[in-house]
């Protein structure tokens, strides 16, 4: 670890001259924990000649507070980055006079203020150029910036371009006698500890994606046997293991050992690593499925998977990561217990993540996928409890939700109130062939940029109510079969009318919805099934939507 300290002596002189005088003291400490020889440097800009910051006060109480900015440039090749902290060099930050018989003082701020609200004889520092605070003592420094990566190659990180600047504000007072009022500012730059990392290998033996274009889907697995395994981390590498694999990807700092064992009549796949951070594979397709390559020829299903200690923030693909049994839609499929399920939320892509997966018994309210950019096929042919809670599912900058819940046997009432759809353009077949669910609440969807709603709610076996009352369809070009073939659908809560400004195709938008009844009791008519009738029915005006109560 490298430590660099810049010590700044501040001084304010009333009447003709004043200044913050910087004395730079640098020292370095090298810690052998680091795996490479690191470098660190910092330079300061915005100071006057001689490393001074001059504050001139000629009118005492009649002058407003003044501010000067300290600009930094930090350079380091430490891959874990660095921290910049600021404090006084001692226990307090009172600016004291140089003359022993002078009782005047400039006190640190007692509360957060902007510069215009400084009282007489106050000073403080700010890193956002708005809120000024008292400079803390050396025992509790203020964090200026904490960067988790090396600085920009060649040029470093500069104030205003990667890191903040430090603003120092001072206001004098009318009863201060001419003198130099001094204190110390301590700026500390320290590299973060270099953490050792390891990344699991991808599933090299079985890495065929779920979907490869057209109607080409990966063949599903066979039924699970009665022999089930538990996947979990252990804090001890067992001696005398007959067969042990190093499952760490090339480039990892340390190995990840994986082996099979039995204990108390249960079967386990253990993993062990001394790395500070252990990452899931970047491509985690089928990684923890029954055909996980680290199991060799053993194709027994996992009955329990513990994700404790596994970081998914680098995972860009996780197609069918937990898939065990093709009979996931059947009651005979064994439930899969997943501990620390919330760890997957940092993955960058949720595409087909739970495809062919039995989610019964899992707390789905823990699943948010806040960094995901795609929800295509996420719950394809999966199954969940009748009371499963998906209301916390969010997503990041998601652009496609095509077939997101395709053939999903979901909860009776599917509410997606927190789902971020603000960037989505494709909702084709999103809920198509949904099983078990009776009501869908999609009223909170932001559909401003959606262009494709083809088959979005088509062919759902049990759905009776759909709420699309918040839909904005001004950019939709395709609504064909949007609500097609829902034999039990009775009610659609919608807006006054779908915006059809850019609509080019709407064949069978409401086709085969024989039980659908709109406002003013307009019943379904096989002769009136295109998007023209995507409106609230009124006397004399057929429409298949109802106003939301």
DSSP labels, 242-287: SS-EE-BPTT-SS--EEEEEEETTEEEEEEE---SEEEPPSB-TTT
What does the alpha-carbon distance between residue 400 and residue 464 come to, in Å, rounded to a whole number? 26
Contacts of 70 (CB under 8 A, 6+ apart): 8, 44, 45, 46, 47, 53, 159, 165, 166, 167, 168, 187
Specify the pLDDT at position 387: 97
Inter-CA distances, 182 with 96, 97, 111, Å: 5, 6, 21
* Mean pLDDT within 209-225: 76
Res. 11 pLDDT band, cuts 50 70 90? low
Residue 178 clears pLDDT 90, i.e. is over it: no
376 part of a folded domain: no
* Mean pLDDT within 221-245: 88
What does the alpha-carbon distance between residue 538 and residue 479 come to, in Å, rounded to a whole number? 22
Res. 140 pLDDT band, cuts 50 70 90? very high
Per the prediction, the chain carries an average pLDDT of: 89
Residue 143 clears pLDDT 80, i.e. is over it: yes
Maximum mean pLDDT: which of 46-55, 87-96, 288-297, 459-468 = 459-468
Residue 165 C-alpha from the chain's centroid: 27
75 part of a folded domain: yes
* Mean pLDDT within 428-454: 98
160 part of a folded domain: yes
* Mean pLDDT within 378-386: 95
* Mean pLDDT within 386-398: 96
Residue 14 clears pLDDT 80, i.e. is over it: no
Domain count across the chain: 1
Residue 37 clears pLDDT 60, i.e. is over it: no
Inter-CA distances, 250 with 17, 197, 368, 453, Å: 62, 11, 30, 43
Residue 52 clears pLDDT 90, i.e. is over it: no
Residue 484 clears pLDDT 50, i.e. is over it: yes
What does the alpha-carbon distance between residue 4 and residue 134 come to, in Å, rounded to a whole number? 23
Specify the pLDDT at position 494: 99
475 part of a folded domain: no
Contacts of 177 (CB under 8 A, 6+ apart): 14, 97, 99, 102, 104
Check residues 334 and 528 and name the one with the higher pLDDT.
Answer: 528
What does the alpha-carbon distance between residue 377 and residue 398 come to, in Å, rounded to a whole number? 13
Residue 226 clears pLDDT 50, i.e. is over it: yes
pLDDT in tens, 97-110: 888 999 989 999 99
Specify the pLDDT at position 399: 97
61 part of a folded domain: yes
Inter-CA distances, 149 with 162, 240, 316, Å: 11, 40, 20
The answer to whether 373 and 317 are in contact (CB under 8 A) is no
Inter-CA distances, 446 with 61, 406, 480, Å: 55, 20, 20
Specify the pLDDT at position 51: 67
Res. 18 pLDDT band, cuts 50 70 90? very low
Cβ-in-10-Å burial (0-12, 13-18, 19+) of 468 comes to buried
Specify the pLDDT at position 13: 55
Residue 31 clears pLDDT 70, i.e. is over it: no
% of the chain surpassing 70 pLDDT: 91
Inter-CA distances, 337 with 305, 318, 442, 528, Å: 6, 18, 29, 48
Residue 288 clears pLDDT 60, i.e. is over it: yes
Contacts of 270 (CB under 8 A, 6+ apart): 232, 233, 234, 238, 258, 259, 260, 261
- Residue positions counted in the chain: 549
* Mean pLDDT within 457-474: 98
Residue 4 clears pLDDT 50, i.e. is over it: no
35 part of a folded domain: yes
Check residues 177 and 531 and name the one with the higher pLDDT.
Answer: 531
Residue 538 C-alpha from the chain's centroid: 45
pTM: 0.77
* Mean pLDDT within 276-292: 95
508 part of a folded domain: no
Specify the pLDDT at position 21: 37
Contacts of 59 (CB under 8 A, 6+ apart): none
Going by the DSSP 8-state scheme, the letter that residue 499 receives in this structure is -
Specify the pLDDT at position 162: 84
Q: Which residues form the domain of 142?
A: 3-191
pLDDT in tens, 110-128: 999 999 999 999 999 999 9
Residue 182, classed as helix, strand or coil, is strand
The answer to whether 410 and 434 are in contact (CB under 8 A) is yes
Specify the pLDDT at position 19: 35
89 part of a folded domain: yes
Check residues 328 and 130 and name the one with the higher pLDDT.
Answer: 130
Which tokens is 156 given?
Answer: 């470093």
Specify the pLDDT at position 10: 52
């Amino acid at each position: 670890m490298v430590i660099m300290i810049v010590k700044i002596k501040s001084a304010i002189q009333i009447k003709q001259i004043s200044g913050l005088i910087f004395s730079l003291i640098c020292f370095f400490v090298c810690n052998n924990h680091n795996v490479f020889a690191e470098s660190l440097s910092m330079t300061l800009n915005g100071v006057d000649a001689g490393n001074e910051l001059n504050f001139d006060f000629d009118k005492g109480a009649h002058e407003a507070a003044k501010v000067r900015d300290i600009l930094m440039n930090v350079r380091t090749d430490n891959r874990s980055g660095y921290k910049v902290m600021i404090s006084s060099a001692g226990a307090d930050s009172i600016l004291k006079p140089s003359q022993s018989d002078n009782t005047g003082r400039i006190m640190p701020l007692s509360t957060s203020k902007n510069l215009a609200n400084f009282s007489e004889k106050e000073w403080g520092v700010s890193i956002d150029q708005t809120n000024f605070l008292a400079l803390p003592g050396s025992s509790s420094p203020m964090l200026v910036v904490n960067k988790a990566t090396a600085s920009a190659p060649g040029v470093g990180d500069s104030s205003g371009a990667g890191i903040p600047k430090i603003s120092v504000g001072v206001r004098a007072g009318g009863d201060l006698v001419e003198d130099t009022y001094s204190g110390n500012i301590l700026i500390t730059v320290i590299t973060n500890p270099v953490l050792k990392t390891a990344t699991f290998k991808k599933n090299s033996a079985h890495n065929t994606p779920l979907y490869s274009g057209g109607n080409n889907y990966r063949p599903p697995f066979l039924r699970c046997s009665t022999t089930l395994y538990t996947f979990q981390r252990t804090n001890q590498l067992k001696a005398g293991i007959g067969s042990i694999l190093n499952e760490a990807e090339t480039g990892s700092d340390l190995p990840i050992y994986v082996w099979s064992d039995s204990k108390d009549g249960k079967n386990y796949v253990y993993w062990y690593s001394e790395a500070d951070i252990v990452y899931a594979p970047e491509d985690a397709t089928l990684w923890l499925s029954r055909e996980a390559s680290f199991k060799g020829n053993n194709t027994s299903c996992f009955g329990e998977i513990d994700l404790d200690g596994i970081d998914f923030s680098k995972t860009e693909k996780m197609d069918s990561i937990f898939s065990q049994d093709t009979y996931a839609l059947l009651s005979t499929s064994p439930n899969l217990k997943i501990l620390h399920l919330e760890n997957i939320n940092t993955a960058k892509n949720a595409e087909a993540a739970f495809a062919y997966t039995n989610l019964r018994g899992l707390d789905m309210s823990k699943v948010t996928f806040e960094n995901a950019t795609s929800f295509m096929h996420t719950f394809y042919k999966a199954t969940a409890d009748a009371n499963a809670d998906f209301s916390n599912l969010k997503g990041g900058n998601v652009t496609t939700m095509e077939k997101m819940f395709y053939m999903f046997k979901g909860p009776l009432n599917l509410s997606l109130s927190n789902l971020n759809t603000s960037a989505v353009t494709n909702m084709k077949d999103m809920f198509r062939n949904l099983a078990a669910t009776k009501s869908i609440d999609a009223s909170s969807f932001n559909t401003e940029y959606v262009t494709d709603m083809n088959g979005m709610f088509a062919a759902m076996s049990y759905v009776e109510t759909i709420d699309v009352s918040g839909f904005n369809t001004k950019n939709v070009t395709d609504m064909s079969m949007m609500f097609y073939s829902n034999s039990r659908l009775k009610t659609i809560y919608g807006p006054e009318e779908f915006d059809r400004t850019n609509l080019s195709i709407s064949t069978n938008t409401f086709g085969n919805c024989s039980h659908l009844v709109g406002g003013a009791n307009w019943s379904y008519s096989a002769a009136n099934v295109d998007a023209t009738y995507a409106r609230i029915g009124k006397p004399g005006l057929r429409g298949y939507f109802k106003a939301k109560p």
